[in-house]
Structure 1
């Protein structure tokens, strides 16, 4: 997988750095992470890494289209998943669940109006305590 990350960075014209590889490796596990969580996780193996380095790296990766971010409950969350989907923020459990839906029509409608969609991010706030399986 590390080879894939190196190739992905090069394909986007980005310099391959240990910080970028470490963040991609973490996000490739799946799930959603905020900057502080990423920082705390990376500190375990890279004790000299700074919080500003983490946020600067996340910014570069997002602007290049490698990762996605969205805001839920006042926190910016990062994820690797690039397939259009809805992030469901469960207000009662503080979980974030990915829901696959067809978002093509939204992009198509915007494109028809001359609006070029680069990234489409939707967040739904929901009560999920009765959710059986996800």
Structure 2
């Protein structure tokens, strides 16, 4: 299996694009942070290379997503969160405290089958965030009969 730098270099070369240090820095930051907004990615990069700005990060994220190397998910309000493409799971976001949890995509297999049978729709659960209330926040919540 190719490392992130090798995969990026090969993908860029196949598309007739060149490898730049900024592209590598952005992909490295996404890989290291696992889930990160463009601002968090920029902050990580600027710790090593202060001259990289947020505009470069946004442009590079767009390119990396077009190349299929990263993906974004909206985990609530605000900026999207980026992760490497191979990082697949369903995000569970607590809308009270903001906690983030993950479950395997297979957890939504039955729903995917129902949607396909009823609507011909193919669910991509790897690009999905579900909002609800986490176990910690729901302590003390009781439904009335």
Structure 2: any 5+ residue segments left out of the alignment?
138-145
The CA RMSD measured in Å over matched residues stands at 3.2
1:59 and 2:59 equivalent? no
Equivalent position SS for 2:81:
strand
SS of the residue corresponding to residue 44 of structure 1 reads helix
Structure 1, 60-69 or 92-101: larger mean CA deviation: 92-101
Per-residue CA distance 1:78-133 (angstroms, 9 max, x = gap): 011435421111223323222103256738929x94x78788521111322539xx
TM-score by length of 1: 0.74
5 Å-filtered alignment, 1:6-45, equals 6-10=9-13, 14-45=17-48
Indicate conservation of the 8 Å contact 1:90/1:126, yes or no. yes
The answer for the alignment partner of 1:121 in structure 2 is 127
Of 18-27 and 87-96, deviating more is: 87-96
Query: How many residue pairs are counted as aligned between the two chains?
Result: 129
1:89 match = 93
Call closer, same or farther: CA 1:55–1:88 in 2, change over 3 Å.
same
**Is 2:105–2:126's contact at 8 Å kept on the other side of the alignment?**
no
Q: Which runs of 5+ in 1 are unaligned?
A: none
SS at 1:37's partner residue?
helix
| Larger gyration radius, structure 1 or structure 2 | 2
Report the structure, 1 or 2, having the larger helix content. Answer: 2
Deviations 1:59-88 (A, max 9, x none): 111122110101122221101143542111
